[in-house]
Copies of this chain bind each other. A is one copy, B any other.
């Protein structure tokens, strides 16, 4: 990407009203509304079922389980529950509820057999239920396992980014991150974009700039990583003050990627710092120590620890 000419209307786009909300929220999701498309067309069932909360997922599974059984219970009821060996003299509720239990036994293939299909119509229904139902059940099970085994990351970011002193009278933009899980991460990669409002031909537009990091890739990521962008003449941040960032509603977007040895996959994590989450004139305290045995010690509580810069 062109570093010195802000990116406009590409991906994250330009020309907003003056005051915008943060673009990436604390959970790493985009804070974007989409209109002009039908609900149905923008909806993907798999997306939904993988991303909903565990509570909702279990609730939806239960509802589906019960509803499916109710549908089949009606079918058995219509076919005559006496052909399942259910006593019909005890009224509708008794018949229906026992058809329901039989349906559940068929759907899950537990098939105890005390209640069982004894004529043509109930056998046809049971054959269908065991077949189709088993497949639907398998999807629920697959989804459950899919959710459980989904690559998860727990990357902790320092709660503030900082503008700190650098060599040769320059400043640097820094933040820190660490892997809170004990997984082995390799080939880690950071991409950082700065974004702020700019006046261009009298119009106020939001522009996006890629920030060059001193190191944007590391081979091993066992501990803590201090991302470092040196604010020299080639930086879009060069010459800007704390006041400038407040006025222009600056936000710094972060994309972290790494290969995780547990999931055997590339995982990612997103974060952003708003202009009011940046500390000026401090430096990060040491975050990595060694214990008495000479072993590396990563103290995640120190991730946020900054120190005043002495002159």
- Smallest CB separation, A235 vs chain B (Å): 17
Residues of A174-230 contacting chain B, CB below 8 A: 178, 180-184, 186-188, 191, 193, 210, 214-215, 217-226, 228
Query: Quick one: closest B residue to A19, CB to CB?
Result: B294
Is there contact, CB below 8 Å, between B138 and A120? no
Cβ–Cβ contact A105 & B114, under 8 A: no
Asked if B20 and A294 sit within 8 Å, CB to CB, the answer is yes
- A301 nearest CB neighbor, chain B only: B36
Cβ of A97 within 8 Å of any chain B Cβ, yes or no, is yes
Q: How many copies does the complex hold?
A: 4
Say yes or no for A288: interface residue by CB 8 A criterion.
yes
CB neighbors of B among A1-60 (8 A): 1, 7, 9-17, 19-21, 23-24, 28-37, 41-47, 50-51
Contact B180 A34 (CB under 8 A): yes
CB of A53 to closest CB in B, whole Å: 15
Q: Give A195 Cβ to nearest chain B Cβ, in Å.
A: 10
Is B139 in contact with A137, judged by CB distance below 8 angstroms?
A: no
Query: In chain B, what residue has the closest Cβ to A178?
Result: B34
Q: Given the complex of chains A and B, what is the CA–CA distance between A123 and B152 in angstroms? A: 38
Residues of B within 8 A of A117 (CB): 101, 112
| A134 located at the interface, meaning its Cβ lies under 8 Å from any Cβ of chain B in the complex | yes
Instruction: Report if A265-B264 is in contact (Cβ < 8 Å); known contacts: A20-B294, A32-B298, A105-B111.
Output: yes
- Asked if B264 contacts A151 (CB within 8 A), the reply is yes
Partner of A47, one of B98, B113, B181, B191: B181
What per-residue 1/0 map shows which CB atoms of A148-184 lie under 8 Å from chain B? 1111101010000000000000000000001011111
Contact of A89 with B by CB under 8 A: no
| CB nearest to A122 among chain B residues | B101
CA distance A32 to B179 in the complex (A): 12
The distance from the CB of A61 to the nearest CB of chain B, in whole angstroms, is: 7
User: Which chain B residues border A151 with CB–CB below 8 Å?
Assistant: 264
Some 25 contacts from A to B, beta carbons below 8 A apart, are: A1-B215, A9-B224, A11-B222, A13-B288, A16-B288, A17-B290, A23-B222, A30-B184, A30-B223, A32-B296, A32-B298, A34-B299, A44-B181, A47-B182, A51-B262, A97-B123, A104-B131, A105-B126, A106-B110, A110-B111, A111-B113, A112-B116, A112-B117, A259-B266, A261-B268
A20-B296, A114-B116 known, 19 other contacts, Cβ within 8 Å:
A10-B228, A11-B222, A12-B222, A30-B222, A32-B297, A33-B298, A34-B297, A36-B298, A37-B300, A46-B262, A65-B131, A111-B113, A138-B141, A139-B145, A142-B149, A151-B264, A210-B219, A220-B253, A264-B267
